[in-house]
Amino acid sequence: MSGNTSGDIDESLYSRQLYVLGADAMKKMSASNVLIVGLKGLGCEVAKNIVLAGVKSVTLYDPSPVVISDLSTQFFLHQEDVGKPRAQVSAPRLAELNQYVPVSVLDTELTPEAIATFKCVVVTDIPQQQKLEISETAHQNNVYFISTETRGLFGYTFNDFGKDFVVVDPTGEEPLSGMVANIEQAEEGVVMCLDETRHGLEDGQFVTFSEVQGMTELNDCEPRKVKVIGPYTFSIGDTRGLSAYTRGGLFKQVKMPVVLNFKSFKSALEEPEYFYSDFSKFDRPAQLHVGFQALHAFAAANNGRMPRPGNDDDATEVIRLANQINDAWSQKTELDDKLLKQLAYQATGDLSPMV
Q: What is the DSSP string of 71-132?
A: GGT-TT--GGGTTSBHHHHHHHHHHTT-TTS-EEE--S---HHHHTT-SEEEE-S--HHHHH
pLDDT at 6 over 50: no
Going by pLDDT thresholds of 50, 70 and 90, the confidence category of residue 354 is low
What would the mean pLDDT of 150-171 be, rounded to a whole number?
Answer: 91
pLDDT at 5 over 60: no
Distance CA 340, CA 318 (A): 7
Question: Which comes out higher in pLDDT, residue 3 or 133?
Answer: 133
Query: Residue 132 contacts by C-beta under 8 Å, 6 or more apart in sequence?
Result: 265, 266
Distance CA 8, CA 207 (A): 34
Query: Residue 355 contacts by C-beta under 8 Å, 6 or more apart in sequence?
Result: none
Question: Which comes out higher in pLDDT, residue 323 or 3?
Answer: 323
Kindly report, residue by residue over 102-135, the tens digit of the pLDDT.
999 999 999 999 999 999 999 998 999 999 999 9
Question: Which comes out higher in pLDDT, residue 171 or 212?
Answer: 212
pLDDT at 83 over 50: yes
Closest alpha carbon to 142 in 157, 124, 161, 168: 161
**pLDDT on residue 2:** 39
pLDDT above 70 covers a percentage of the chain that reads: 96
Identity of the residue numbered 132? L
* Burial category of 263 from C-beta neighbours within 10 Å (exposed 0-12, middle 13-18, buried 19 and up): middle
Closest alpha carbon to 304 in 73, 129, 121: 129
253 with 207: CB under 8 angstroms?
Answer: yes
329 with 270: CB under 8 angstroms?
Answer: yes
**pLDDT on residue 18:** 74
Kindly report, residue by residue over 19-28, the tens digit of the pLDDT.
667 777 788 8
Among 17-21, 252-256, 313-317, the minimum mean pLDDT is found in: 17-21
**pLDDT on residue 351:** 81
What's the whole-model pTM score? 0.83
40 with 149: CB under 8 angstroms?
Answer: no
What would the mean pLDDT of 154-168 be, rounded to a whole number?
Answer: 93
Question: Which comes out higher in pLDDT, residue 327 or 330?
Answer: 327
pLDDT at 1 over 70: no
Query: Residue 208 contacts by C-beta under 8 Å, 6 or more apart in sequence?
Result: 218, 220, 221, 222, 223, 224, 251, 252, 254
- Name the 3-class secondary structure at 159: strand
Distance CA 341, CA 345 (A): 6
